[in-house]
Amino acid sequence: MFISNAYAQSPLDAMGLSSNLTSFLPIILMFVVLYFLMIRPQMKRQKEQKSMMDALAKGDEVVTAGGVLGKVSRVTDAYVTIEVAAGTEITVQKVAVTTLLPKGTLKAL
């Protein structure tokens, strides 16, 4: 009356393979989604930023991380000298250059 029936387990359930794989499947799927939504686009953005910094040349018009707009007057390995006004130049690190503007954007310089 109080004793329940005992049923035999299938071989996969006895070893626990089926239940372990099923319990880890959502975690595996979360990592796959995380890779495609966050990691992959970030790597692509870093690659584009690096190629833009390597392609900097004299005469390019840029925007720095601080919002300063100017024309590149000199490029070295780690630094870029930017002309922000006629006769006024500043030196910033290459990593501070965030955007390369189309030619002719800055008319006043």
47 SS3 class: helix
pLDDT of residue 97: 94
Q: Does 46 lie in the same domain as 70?
A: no
- Cα–Cα nearest to 92, from 78, 76, 105, 80: 80
Instruction: Answer yes or no: is 89 within a domain.
Output: yes
Span 5-55, pLDDT tens digits: 877 766 655 555 566 778 888 999 999 999 999 999 999 999 999 999 999
Total domain count, the chain: 2
Q: Does 47 lie in the same domain as 63?
A: no
Q: Does 93 lie in the same domain as 61?
A: yes
Parent domain of 43:
11-51
Half-sphere exposure of 62 (CA within 13 A, CB side): 30
* CATH (domain of 67): 2.30.30
- H-helix or E-strand containing 49? helix 40-54
pLDDT of residue 56: 92
pLDDT of residue 30: 95
